[in-house]
Structure 1
Amino acid sequence: MGCFGFLKVMMFVFNGIIFLAGAAILGVGIWVKVDSGSILNFLGKIEDAPAELTQVLNVGYLLIAIGALLLVIGFLGCCGAIRESRCMLLMFFIIVLVVFIAEVAGAVVILVFRPLADKLFVKIGKAAVQNIRKDYGKNPDITGLWNTTMTTLQCCGFYNASDFMGSPYYVDHGQLYPPQCCPGLSSPCPTAADGVTSISGCFPKIKQLIDDNTVVIVAVALGIAALEICAMAVSMILYCKIKSSRG
């Protein structure tokens, strides 16, 4: 196998992975939009939620768009390499270049507007706590969603157990916290007055998880950027070799 054949195989394998990843992301995006019990639908039901939250709720559409785009990129890369189509390779290069530029621009925007994101999370937190104190223990959908979230993440409330104070559950159960706040206890979860410290809230836990994996996230982002650059370089090499061989 010569250099040209090796590049074709690598282009096919790499874009095959991209195609499969796109299919997975597309599936997740569709699931997010159709799953009535998802956290995004819960956020959409929060009363007095900040206007900026509407952008967050569009993440399902964003995942669908990203998945579809990756499917197109993977298809063009695979077919362009196997069929030796200069048109497909050129389209592949242009799309990946646009995605790369968009990723760089997005990273700059995130760094510049990070303080605004922190303020948005504060607003979301206030709205979420109000929602808990109004509907937890009364609305089956809200109660079930929070129970599932707390059990999965092993957390309690948005910030901490005090978020449940005044909620229908708290009032109806003799001022007790939900059992998810005190894992391992056979008896009902005591109140703060009993001197029992519950596990941390879901938001601090998610934030801590992100902070602990910042290096991994950055490494993955840099790895993706490097792969995109390599993919663009290989596509152009194949493009030029196909042109010269046919010339």
Structure 2
Amino acid sequence: MGSCTTACAKYLVFFFNLLFALTGLILFTVGAVILARYYHYYNFVGETYWSAPLVLIVVGSVVFIIAFFGCCSAIKENSCMILTFSILLVLIFLTEIGVGISGYIKHSELPEILDHNFNKTFLSYNSDADSRQAWSLIQDEFKCCGISKPEDWREIYKNDTVPRSCCPPGTIPPDLPKNTTCTQEYAAKQGCKRQLNEFLDGYALILAGVGVSIAFVQLLGVCLACCLSRAFKENYEAV
């Protein structure tokens, strides 16, 4: 009976580790996609805010390795290896909780960070090519114009003109000359700061949901691993 229970527990933990490896792959993929797709907004958000995707990549890689270790420990029926696996799972779980708390604190500081960086890049628009490129990207991708409204560009451009990236494709009449500017008449009406803030709010909720779901899976893994370790130990003592 004991050997049957041990065998069932072993295969259950082995199956869990396959699931655990999948969660590591998901963490790695989500972190890599976010970093590759949206890192060019660091001019407005600041590099420290993008530490979360890097942490996801690192944690995802570590989780994948630990899952392999867990599979080996289940197959070998080694209670010490299972116990080590449980401790590693707890450490990963605590790390994710810490990252979640840190992310929540950083998220509460986001409006202040956006205010500072939007004004900074706006004031350096004429003198810094990196700022010009950042504004061109965000206005083109978010279909927005200026910090809060198109009129913000009056500080830099004359005659109610704005950067051409302010004007979504199809809004400019084809007979107008193709240059680096357009007029406020054809510009997007919403400001970019609000658009980016709303986007980052959504992105933070997705990360939080993924993180909490995976953390509960890992917590279940700790319980299963502890049960398996006890089963192996009892089976060994019985022999």
Q: Please indicate, yes or no, whether the TM-score normalized by the shorter chain is above 0.5.
A: yes
Question: CA offsets, 1:181-223, max 9 Å, x none?
Answer: 221213367534x4x5614333312322354677655543432
Select the structure of larger CA radius of gyration: 2
Question: CA offsets, 1:128-154, max 9 Å, x none?
Answer: 22233543xxx3x55444434433333
Amino acid at match of 2:183: T
The answer (yes or no) to whether the contact 1:147–1:180 under 8 Å persists in 2 is yes
The answer (yes or no) to whether the contact 1:182–1:198 under 8 Å persists in 2 is yes
The answer (yes or no) to whether the contact 1:22–1:71 under 8 Å persists in 2 is no
Name 1:21's counterpart in structure 2: 26
Q: 2:15 & 2:39 partners in 1: Cα distance?
A: 38
The answer (yes or no) to whether the contact 2:143–2:167 under 8 Å persists in 1 is no
Name 1:239's counterpart in structure 2: 229
Q: 2:209 & 2:87 partners in 1: Cα distance?
A: 25
The answer (yes or no) to whether the contact 1:181–1:198 under 8 Å persists in 2 is yes
Deviation (angstroms), 1:4: 2.2
Among candidates 134, 147, 150, match of residue 136 of structure 2: 147
Q: 1:159 & 1:74 partners in 2: Cα distance?
A: 48
The answer (yes or no) to whether the contact 2:20–2:218 under 8 Å persists in 1 is no
Question: CA offsets, 1:58-98, max 9 Å, x none?
Answer: 56754553343233333323333344343443333222212
**Structure 1: runs of 5+ lacking an equivalent:** none
Q: How many residues align structurally?
A: 225
Q: Secondary structure at the match of 1:132?
A: coil
Name 2:196's counterpart in structure 1: 206
RCO greater where, 1 or 2, for CA within 8 Å and sep 6 or more?
2
Q: So what's the TM-score if we normalise by structure 1?
A: 0.67
Name 1:101's counterpart in structure 2: 94
Name 1:92's counterpart in structure 2: 85
Q: So what's the TM-score if we normalise by structure 2?
A: 0.68
RMSD, aligned α-carbons: 4.0
Tell me if 1:230 matches 2:223. no
Q: Alpha carbons of 1:103 and 1:64: their partners in 2 closer, same or farther (altered >3 Å)?
A: closer
Among candidates 158, 161, 172, match of residue 186 of structure 1: 172
Among candidates 100, 109, 120, match of residue 113 of structure 2: 120
Deviation (angstroms), 1:123: 1.6
The answer (yes or no) to whether the contact 1:133–1:166 under 8 Å persists in 2 is no
Question: CA offsets, 1:26-57, max 9 Å, x none?
Answer: 7569x75xx9x9526x63xx9xx9xxx46346
Identity of aligned residues (%): 20
